[in-house]
Amino acid sequence: MRSDRMKKGIERAPHRSLFKALGLTDREIEQPMIGIANSANEVIPGHLHLQQLSDAVKAGIRMAGGTPLEFNTIGICDGIIMGHDGMKYSLSSRELIADSVESMAMAYPFDGLVLIPNCDKIIPGMLMAAARLNIPTILISGGPMLAGEFHGKEIDLATVFESVGKIETGEIDERDLKEIEGCACPGVGSCAGMFTANSMNCLSEVLGLALPYNGTIPAVFADRIRLAKESGIQIMDLIKKDLRPSKILTKKAFENAVTVDMAFGGSTNTSLHLPAIAHEAGIPLPLQTFNRISDRTPHLCNMSPGGPFHLQDLHRAGGIPALMAELSRNKLIHKDVMTVTGKMVGVNIKGKKRLHSDVIRSLEKPYHANGGLVALFGNLAPEGAVVKRSAVDESMLRHQGPARVFESEEEALKAILSKKIRKGEVIVIRNEGPKGGPGFREMLAPTSAIAGVGMDKEVALLTDGRFSGASRGAAVGHISPEAAEGGAIAIVRNGDRIEIDIPGKKLNLLISDEELKKRLSQWKPRKKELKGYLKRYARLVTSAHTGAIFE
C-alpha cells in the first residue's frame, strides 16, 4: 500500500504514535488510508453542506474497510466576488487548490483520494490535482441548487443580476428586486443553471472520475448522500483494482466531455478547465478540438441562462447518462472508455432513456444543429476567442458594428447602466485577461446589465476577460493574445468596425494589415502595481487558449 511509506516498519513507530494521537486504532492504521479533500466552508452556498457529504463518504469508506482522513481546501464563490477586485482571485484560486491537494497527497501518501468540491474553480482545481497525482481517485460534488420561484416562474442567480438592469429601465422597482433576491437562491447547492459549476460537475461524470448522476442530483436530495456513501465504497474498489486517473483520463474521455458540453450548452469556462485538466494528464486539447466536435454535435438541452430549464429538470429527464445514450445513437460518444464505476461508458449508459423530450431533445429535433460553444479566430483573436452560441439570439450570430472601448469592467458597466451605449455598438473590455487583470475576471455584471436594459439583441461585447456561465447574449471572451501581451485587442480604437461571425467562426478588426501592424508597433504595455499572490500569478500564468495554466 502507498500509505505503508508513513506507517509500516519499526522505523515508523513515531509516525504510528502520531496517528494514535488522532485516536486511530492499530486496525485503522493498518487499513488503506483514504484522503478526503473537502472544500466545505461557510462562505459559499454550494459548500455549506459539504461536511454532511464528507461524513457520508467516510461511512462508505469504513463500510468497505478503509480509514478516512479528511483535510480542507479553500473555495471562492464567483457570484459573491463578481464585479469587484475579489474576482481577480477566482480563476487564480484554481492553481492554489490543485497545489494544495497535491501537497497533502504527497506529504501524506494516501492509498486513494475522494474529492468533494462543488463550485466553479474548485472542481477543475481538484481534477487537475487528480491527474497530476495519478493515484486512485473519485469525485463527489455537492450537487446543484434548486431553482427559485418568482410569481410562478422559475428563476436563478442570473435572474437577479439581470434584474439590476431592469431597475434602470423601470421594468421592475426596488420592491420587486428585493423579492427576487430573496427567492432566487432557495438553499444550498451550486447555482441552478448550466453555469460553470454545474457544467464542470456534469463533465466530471462524463470524464469518468465521478459516479453517474453526480452532476444532476440536487444538493438537498437524499440521493446525494447515498451517492456520497457509494463513492466512499467505490474508492476502495478502485484501490483494489489499481484503477488510476491515467487509465480513465484518455483522449477519448476528453472528447466525450467536449461532446456532452456542446450538447448541453455549457459555460464558456469549460474551454479553460478541460484543457487545463488535459494538460495535467499529458493530453493536448486545443480550441480547434472544440470547434471540430461542435460542428458534429447537436445542441439538445436548452438550459438556463440561454433556456428555461435547470439542473433539477435535467435530472428528472434522465441526467447525463440519458443525454450520452442519446448522443451515442449517432456514434458521437466513445463507449470504450473506463470510468470509476469499474465499467466502460457503454455499460454505464446502456438502456438509459430520455424521460422528458423537451429537456433532452432527440437527435432528430435538436435546439440547434451544432454545439453550444464556438471558438472564433481572426486578426482580433489569432489564438482564439470563445462564445456560448446557444445563448446568443439568432439575430446577433452575425454582427458588424463600431467599437466602444473600455479599459475595465467597471468603466463598461457604468456606461451600460447610464444608457450611454448605442444600438449596434460592440463593447470592448480589455486589460482583464489572465495577466492583465490579473486574474481573468468574469463579466457577468456587464452582460447581465445589457440583458437587463433590453439590449442583448442589439449590442455585442468582446473582452480578453471571460464570462460567467450565467452570461448570455453576443458575448465573446477569452480573446487571445490578451491586451497585456500585445494582442490586437490592445490597439482597438473607438469607432473601429468589428466583425463577429459566429457561424463562420470569425472575429476581425476591420482595418488594413498595414494599420494593424503600425498600431501594434506603437503599443506599450500598461503598468500595474501588484503584490502578493496576484503578482506571482501574473508572472506565471499563460494565455486563455492554453487553459490559463502556469508556465
Show which residues are catalytic: 468
Number of neighbouring beta carbons within 10 Å of residue 157:
27
**In 151-282, where do the E strands start and end?**
153-155
The three grid cell numbers given for residue 207, joined into one nine-digit string: 470524464
Residue 206 grid cell = 462524463
- Residue pair 214/340 in contact (Cβ under 8 Å)? The answer is no
9 backbone φψ class: left, alpha, beta (φ>0; ψ -120 to 50): left
Distance, in Å, from the CA atom of 543 to the CA atom of 222, rounded to the nearest integer, reads 41
- Pick the closest to residue 450 from 380, 392, 504, 384 (CA basis): 392
b/e burial code for range 461-496 (CB count within 10 A of at least 16 → b):
bbbbbbbbbbbbbbbbbbbbbbbbbebbbbbbeeeb
Could you tell me the CA-to-CA distances from 408 to 355, 383, 432, 541 in Å, in that order? 45, 22, 7, 20
Grid look-up 485503522 returns 28
| DSSP letter, residue 5 | G
Q: Are 479 and 457 in contact, with CB atoms under 8 Å apart? A: no
Asked if residue 86 lies in contact with residue 259, where contact means CB atoms within 8 angstroms, the answer is no
CA dist list (Å): 510 to 122, 312, 372, 506: 39, 44, 26, 12
Phi-psi region of 273 (alpha: psi -120 to 50; beta: other; left: phi over 0): alpha
Q: What is the grid cell recorded at 474?
A: 453576443
How many other β-carbons are positioned within 10 Å of the β-carbon of residue 531? 7
The grid cell for 407 is: 479599459
- Eight-state DSSP code of residue 193: S
Burial of 344 (0-12, 13-18, 19+ CB in 10 A): middle
Residue 361 CA to residue 300 CA, distance in Å, equals: 5
What is the C-alpha to C-alpha distance for residues 181 and 209, in angstroms, rounded to an integer? 35
Q: For residue 189, which amino acid is it?
A: G
| Partners of 303 in beta bridges | 309
- DSSP secondary structure string, 120-138? TTHHHHHHHHHHHH-SSEE
DSSP 351-370: T---S-TTTS--TTS-SBSS
